[in-house]
Structure formats: structure tokens, C-alpha cells
Amino acid sequence: MEEAEKEIESILQEEIKLSAIDSKITYMHQIAEAKALLHVCRVPLTELEDAFFSHPSAPTVSPKHRSNYHSILTSFADFASRMQAKIAADVTEEIAQAYLTYYWNRGVSPKTYNSVLNMLQCVFRLLCKDNNPFAEFKKRPGQIEERVPFTVEQLQKIWETLNSPTYHMLHKEEMIVLYKLALYTGARCGDLCLLRWSSVDMQNRVIRFMPHKTAHSSHKIVEIPIGDVLYEALSSLDLSTDYVLPNVAYRYQHNSGGISRDTKKLLVAAGLKPNDSGTTRRVLAVSRMGFHGFRHTAASMMICNGVNPLVVRDLLGHTSVDMTAHYTHVNLETKREALQNLNVLPCLPQPKLIGGEKPISEIIRELSTEKLATLGQWLDDNLTINQRERLRELLPFAGNEVTVAS
């Protein structure tokens, strides 16, 4: 009996310990649930915009971009309220999916849909932390709207059209200077249209300004030297005005799209095709050439001429070389020259000569006048600027035997 009572006492003590553990676990669960309630976003759906932009970590956006947020958040609040959601915490993944389906069924393009999804993900990620109902939704694939640079031949056609007395455009003289600024600085349209003389140092030939696009992020001031062509163009302007191009600045402030539309008209008049045609509302016309093409052209030509990518990055005002790489397009001729330079390596066999061992100079001397003219036209169409300069250096010594690698 004594041993039995001791055993019973031991069992009772163990039961008390187990009971205490169960109570502790329950207590911990209650604390966890209470902490979770603290993170519930109780912001009313009608106040999402104000709550988002008053948050210390909210992004700084332009007034136009802010209006886009207002439009989307107002539309979403109306839609969610019809599904009995009143605060941000009431928005479930099912409500988010229903809204995105509704928006897509309106017939918007993939680009517009992805922009709306990105806004909603950003807002709920900031306000609701890990309880973001839009977190798992993927963007819809669409067309890649990649700009292309102008070739030398295309730039010649653009300039011929501009200089033609029969081609008319608003504020043509200032627009010509604007295009020269775009090509010889690589700056963006808005920064050049609103460029002030206070940012132009004609004495030291340098332009200093803070790009509008990165003014709220990097605060980086861009310094661009003024070359001879650009200096001559700027010297012909009225230096007493506030803006370098006052008429263009006024127009851009009141109708920013007018400059871009006139540029597209100029490209069409020059025989170029600015857009890839679209077929439906979902398959839109993709812009390949436009005012921004001058920026791509400046970056590509500098890279193709051997300029250090870090220098190009600073001239364009980029924060990283990765962004600069998006603006550089290496043409086929530059790639061909790069591979041709490998022929000097000692481990490679010497290239064979065109036409066996017969020098090119001898072949040219045997050509008729008609064939010489054909050869000259081919050289004009296919040689790069650097190659033409080298050819001009060789022309006085045409009597020497010049061989070309196959």
C-alpha cells in the first residue's frame, strides 16, 4: 500500500507538469494571435492612397504617376466594397484575383495590366507586410518595346529632311538645335526642352544639370562637355532668355507629347518606319524609333568607338553600367572589326589574300571605270566612319600594294 501511494503521487505530479505544459502552449498561441492582430492593416479602402503616400518608405513619384495611383486605388476600392471588404485586411486573395480578372476583361494591353498589378502589389506590400493578397500573381507576357538607335545613313536622311525648305514644323530652328542637343549629349527629351542657360557654361564649354528622372533618387548632377558642332549651334541662340529654347520649353510645358509626335512625323517624312504595326487592342503598335532614339544612338556610337562604359554611364546620368548596357547596341561591323583584330594573334594562321597572292591594288588597277564607280558606291554604303578615315589616309599612297584579309 505504501509503495502504491508513492506511485500514485508520482503520477499525479507528472500529470500536473503535463497540464502546465498544455496551458503554456495554449498561452503562447494566444500571444501569437494577439501579435498577429497588431499587424492587421485596418486602413479603410477609401484611404489607401493617403496611407500609402504618407508612409515613410513610400516612393517619390511624379504628379502624373500619382494620378495613376489615385485612379487605380479608387477603382479597386469601389470594386472591393461591393464584395463586402471595408478595410485593407478584408482584401483576400480571392478578391484580388476577381479584380485583376475584371480589369483584364476590360481589354487592356499586357503593359497596362502589369502596371496596375505592380501598383497594387507595391501598396499592399508596404501597408500589409506579409499579408499581401496580390503577392502571388504573375505579370502577363507582352511585346518588348525596345528602342533602336539610328544608323549614320538614317541620321543623314533626318538631317536632309530637316534642312529641306519644303519641310515645315513648329519652331523649326529651335527644333534643329534640340535634335543636335539630343544627339551630342544623349540627354532625355524633357531635360533638353527645359534646359536653362544657367546650366550652360559657354566659356568652359560644359552643360551641368540634374536629370529630372533621377532627381528624387540619385541626386546626381550630369556634366556634359560641349563639342564644336553643339557650341556653334548654341552660339546662334539668344543668350538673354531664361530657357535655351524658349519656344520649345513653353510648348513642352503645355503639351509635352507634341515634341514626340512631331519627331515621329519627321522620321516618317525621312522615309523611316518608327513603329512596328499592331493588329488588335492587345497587340499594340510598338514604338522602335522616336526622340529617345537619339539617346540610344549617342550611347551606341560611343561604345562602338571604344569609349569606356563608365564614361558613357556618367554622361548619360545612369546609376549603374547595367542600365547603360540597355542603351548600347553594337552593330555588326563593330563585331566584325573586333573579330578581325584576332588575326594578329601569333597562334593563328595568317589569313589568305583575296584572289590568291595577287594584291588588291593590282586588281583595282585592272577595273573599268564603270566597275570602279560600283566599287566606290559599295564602299560608301558599307564602310564605317573609322574605316573611311583609314581609306582616306591610304588614298595618297594608292600606288603601293595594299592587301585585304579574306
pLDDT tens-digit readout, 82-127? 999 999 889 999 999 999 999 988 888 888 899 999 999 999 998 8
Sheet with 206-209, side-by-side order of all strands: 200-201, 206-209, 222-225
DSSP code per residue over 200-216: EETTTTEEEE--STTTT
| Minimum mean pLDDT range among 79-83, 133-137, 396-400 | 396-400
Q: How confident is the model at residue 180 (pLDDT cuts 50, 70, 90)?
A: very high
Tell me how many degrees the CA angle 377-379-384 measures, rounded to the nearest 5. 135
Alpha carbon distance 154, 158 (integer Å): 6
Residues 6+ apart with CB under 8 A from 318: 324, 327
| Minimum mean pLDDT range among 76-80, 139-143, 192-196, 349-353 | 349-353
- 152-156, 172-176, 395-399: range with highest mean pLDDT: 172-176
Distances (CA, A) of 78 to 47, 97, 158, 267: 12, 15, 49, 44
Output phi, psi for 223, to 5 deg: -115, 120
Q: What is the pTM of this model?
A: 0.56
Position 143 scores a pLDDT of 61
Position 116 scores a pLDDT of 93
Spatial contact of 208 and 314, defined as CB atoms under 8 Å apart? no
Who wins on pLDDT, 395 or 145? 395
Q: Over pLDDT 90: what percentage of the chain?
A: 27
Q: How confident is the model at residue 170 (pLDDT cuts 50, 70, 90)?
A: very high
Q: How confident is the model at residue 402 (pLDDT cuts 50, 70, 90)?
A: very low
Position 193 scores a pLDDT of 94
Q: How confident is the model at residue 17 (pLDDT cuts 50, 70, 90)?
A: confident
Residues 6+ apart with CB under 8 A from 388: 379
Spatial contact of 113 and 103, defined as CB atoms under 8 Å apart? yes
Please determine, for residue 145, whether its predicted confidence score (pLDDT) is greater than 80. Answer: no
Alpha carbon distance 250, 248 (integer Å): 5
| Alpha carbon 7 to its chain's center | 79
Q: What residues pair up with 287 in beta bridges, in sequence order?
A: 275
Tell me how many degrees the CA angle 350-355-361 measures, rounded to the nearest 5. 95
Position 332 scores a pLDDT of 62
Please determine, for residue 47, whether its predicted confidence score (pLDDT) is greater than 70. Answer: yes
Position 38 scores a pLDDT of 46
Position 77 scores a pLDDT of 93
Please determine, for residue 237, whether its predicted confidence score (pLDDT) is greater than 80. Answer: yes
Position 252 scores a pLDDT of 92
Position 94 scores a pLDDT of 93
Alpha carbon distance 46, 75 (integer Å): 10
Alpha carbon distance 169, 175 (integer Å): 8
Distances (CA, A) of 308 to 230, 291, 297, 311: 22, 25, 16, 5
Please determine, for residue 165, whether its predicted confidence score (pLDDT) is greater than 60. Answer: yes
Please determine, for residue 392, whether its predicted confidence score (pLDDT) is greater than 80. Answer: no
Spatial contact of 69 and 49, defined as CB atoms under 8 Å apart? yes
3-state SS, residue 164:
coil
Mean pLDDT of 316-324: 71
Position 197 scores a pLDDT of 95
| Minimum mean pLDDT range among 60-64, 97-101, 340-344 | 340-344
Q: Can you give the length of the chain in residues?
A: 406
| Minimum mean pLDDT range among 11-15, 91-95, 248-252 | 11-15
Average pLDDT of the chain is 80
- 12-16, 45-49, 367-371: range with highest mean pLDDT: 45-49
| Minimum mean pLDDT range among 80-94, 187-201, 259-273, 379-393 | 379-393
Is the CATH number of domain 152-327 3.10.180.10? no
Position 35 scores a pLDDT of 54
For the chain, the helix, strand and coil percentages under 3-state DSSP, each to the nearest 5:
60, 5, 35
Position 277 scores a pLDDT of 65
